[in-house]
Structure formats: C-alpha cells, structure tokens
Amino acid sequence: MSERDFDGLARIEQVTGLGMISVRGTLTDAGFQAAVVAATGVSVPDRGTVSTGAGRTVAWMSSDEILVVCAEADAKGIVDALNAGLAGTHHMVTDVSDARAVFRISGGAARDVLAKVCPVDLRPNMFKAGQFRRTRMAQVACAFWAEDETAFSLIGFRSVQDYIWDVLTTVASRDAPVDHFAS
C-alpha cells in the first residue's frame, strides 16, 4: 500500500501497511539464527546487507541487532514467535511498526536522487542489490537498501516522515536532473 506517491526524476512512494520488529541478540549464535528463521522464514543477513524471502526483509542493523520488515498483520505473531524462540537467552524483541516510515525510490535516476541527500557511495559497482546502509538523509537518520539496480527502500523515523517526503520530492524534481549515474 502506498500512502502517497510522486513522479519526478524518480518515483517516490510512502509505503504503509508494514510491520517492523527490532531484534537484539547474539547474531552469530546458532540458536538466534534458528529462531529468526523459524519466526520469519528469512535468515539472519550478513553485515551490511538484507536478506529477503516470503515478502519479508531482514536487515543487518548492527552487530547485535536486526530489523524484520513484514506485513503489518504479521508483526504480532512474529514478535511472539521470536520471544518464544529466544526464551532463555539474553535478547530483546521490540515492535517498532509505528515508530518508522518507509519510502520507496525507484526509476533510472533513483541513485541520483539519493546521492543528493545521502553521503554514501552509490556507484552501481559499489552499492549493489541487497546492500544495506544506515546513514543520514539531509538532516535526519535513515537506512536504505537496494532492492535491485534502480529501486531502493528507505526507512526513517515516523516524526520526520513529512520532512523526508518533502526532501525526497524536492530533490527529485524533474527540473533538477543530474544524470550522474549511468542507468
């Protein structure tokens, strides 16, 4: 579902209907990995990447944290399953579905749009499909991953969703092409 969309240098959509779960634990632990697979159907991603499957994405947030992105309706079930699977280990499962906003940036100039506001090396040979990066978007924190060559999902905080939307749609104005990245 998308809350709003914009067509400019790239297509910008705010995606709604997603659940998000922050999971902290020992990522390298086999038990942790098994619990994540059991609860989400997706494996724990390698550092700096996302793993995907069954319409879900699991992102590597830190050495002791992953973020599960799923359908909103699945969130509660996954939280319960994770808590059950991780019972007895030091862990923390937090439903953060309402705390974040998700945007999709797609189209040939998607990299140009992101490169206007993120200090990240977005050259196609440097940032490939499946790579995940937590960084800064203009003046706020964000995280994004490349779904493929020309589509990105970007997560930011809920309170600044309008700011993120306004920034993305401003810099994606058709009047401001850069044509920096070969598309």
The answer to whether residue 95 forms part of the interface with other proteins (CB under 8 A) is: yes
Choose the stretch contacting other proteins; rule: CB under 8 A; options: 28-36, 51-59, 79-87, 88-96: 88-96
52 contact partners, CB below 8 Å, separation of at least 6: 42, 58, 130
Sites for other proteins among residues 114-133 (CB under 8 A): 115-123, 126, 133
Report CA 29 to chain centroid distance, whole Å.
23
The answer to whether residue 149 forms part of the interface with other proteins (CB under 8 A) is: no
- Rounded Cα distance between 178 and 180, Å, is 5
62 contact partners, CB below 8 Å, separation of at least 6: none
Q: Are 104 and 152 in contact (CB under 8 A)?
A: yes
Smallest distance from other proteins to CB 52, Å:
20
The answer to whether residue 2 forms part of the interface with other proteins (CB under 8 A) is: no
Smallest distance from other proteins to CB 18, Å:
11
The answer to whether residue 171 forms part of the interface with other proteins (CB under 8 A) is: yes
41 vs 170, beta carbon nearer other proteins: 170
Residues in binding contact with other proteins, number by CB under 8 A: 55
The answer to whether residue 28 forms part of the interface with other proteins (CB under 8 A) is: no
Residue from 5, 92, 128, 148 touching other proteins (CB under 8 A): that is: 92
Binding pattern for the stretch 96-115 against other proteins, x by CB under 8 A and - elsewhere: xxxxx-----------x--x
- Rounded Cα distance between 102 and 88, Å, is 33
Cα–Cα nearest to 75, from 45, 99, 51, 50: 99
- Rounded Cα distance between 119 and 114, Å, is 9
Cα–Cα nearest to 83, from 74, 75, 91: 91
Q: Applying CB under 8 A, which residues contact other proteins?
A: 22, 24, 47-48, 61-65, 90-92, 94-100, 112, 115-123, 126, 133-136, 138-141, 157-160, 162-163, 166-167, 170-171, 173, 175-178, 180, 182
